[in-house]
Amino acid sequence: MFRRHFFLITAAAVLLLMVVLGGLRLATGDSEAKGKGGGGPGGRAAQVSLASVTNRPFADRIAVLGVAKGRQSVTITSDTAELVTAVHFRDGQAVSRGQILVTLKATEQDAGVAEAVARENQARREYQRWKTLADKGIAPKATAEQYLAALETAQASTAAARARKLDRVIRAPFAGVVGLSDIAPGALISPGSPIVSLDDLGAIRVDFDVPDRYLSVLRQGSSIAATPDAYPGEVFTGRIAQVDTRIDTATRAVTARAEFPNAGGRIKPGMMLRVNIEHGRRDALAVPESAIQYEGDQAFVFLITERQAGAESKGNGNAKGKGQPGGGSGPVARKTQVTPGVSEGGFVEIREGLKPGDRVVADGLNRLQDGQAVRLPGQGGAAPQGKR
Q: Which helix or strand (DSSP H or E) is residue 362 part of?
A: none
Identify the weakest region by mean pLDDT among 13-27, 68-82, 168-182: 13-27
Taking every pair of Cα atoms in the chain, the longest distance, rounded to a whole number of angstroms, is: 175
Q: Please indicate whether residue 327 or residue 271 has the higher confidence score (pLDDT).
A: 271
Band (32; pLDDT cuts 50, 70, 90)? very low
Residue 160: Cβ within 10 Å count:
13
pLDDT digits (tens, 9 = 90+) for 266-284: 898 989 998 888 776 778 8
Of the two residues 320 and 211, the one the predictor is more confident about is 211
Q: Please return the burial class of 161, using the count of CB atoms within 10 Å of its CB with bins 0-12, 13-18 and 19+.
A: buried
10 Å CB burial of residue 233 (0-12, 13-18, 19+) is exposed
Query: Residue 382 has what pLDDT?
Result: 44
DSSP state of 137: T
Amino acid identity of 204?
I
User: Which pLDDT value is given to residue 57?
Assistant: 82
Which of 292 and 43 is assigned the larger pLDDT?
292
Supply the pLDDT for residue 295: 87
Query: In this model, does residue 42 exceed pLDDT 70?
Result: no
Residue 208 pLDDT exceeds 80: yes
Determine the Cα–Cα distance for residues 339 and 260; give it in Å rounded to an integer.
Answer: 36
Indicate the average pLDDT of the chain: 80
Q: Which of 117-121, 131-135, 321-325, 374-378 has the highest mean pLDDT?
A: 117-121
Residue 224 pairs in a beta bridge with: 238
Q: What is the pLDDT of residue 86?
A: 92
Whether the per-residue pLDDT at 316 is higher than 50: the answer is no
Q: Alpha-carbon distance 214 to 293, whole Å? A: 31
Residue 87 has pLDDT above 50, yes or no: yes
Number of neighbours of residue 294 by Cβ within 10 angstroms = 9
Domain layout of the chain by residue ranges: 63-69+203-280, 106-167
At residue 22, the pLDDT reads: 65
How far apart CA 36 and CA 15 sit, in angstroms, is 32
The domain 63-69+203-280: what is its CATH number? Answer: 2.40.30.170
pLDDT range class, residue 37, cuts 50, 70, 90: very low
Pairing, β 372-375 against β 330-344: antiparallel
Task: Give 231-249 pLDDT, tens digit per residue.
Answer: 888 889 999 999 998 998 8
> Could you tell me which residue, 110 or 268, shows the higher pLDDT?
268
Cα 339 from Cα 149, distance rounded (Å): 87
Taking a C-beta distance cutoff of 8 angstroms, is the pair 258, 66 a contact? yes
Q: Using CA atoms, how far apart are residues 131 and 146, in angstroms rounded to an integer?
A: 10
> What's the one-letter identity of residue 92?
G
As a whole number of Å, the end-to-end CA separation of the chain is 63
Cα–Cα distance measured from residue 347 to residue 333, given in angstroms and rounded to the nearest whole number: 21
Per-residue pLDDT reduced to its tens digit, 349-382: 888 888 898 889 888 777 788 888 887 776 654 4
| Separation in Å, CA 58 to CA 62, 286, 348 | 13, 9, 9
378 class by beta-carbon count within 10 Å (0-12 exposed, 13-18 middle, 19+ buried): exposed
Architecture of domain 106-167: Orthogonal Bundle (1.10)
Tell which residue, 139, 147, 193, 150, has the closest CA to residue 170: 193
Q: Is the pLDDT of residue 117 over 60?
A: yes
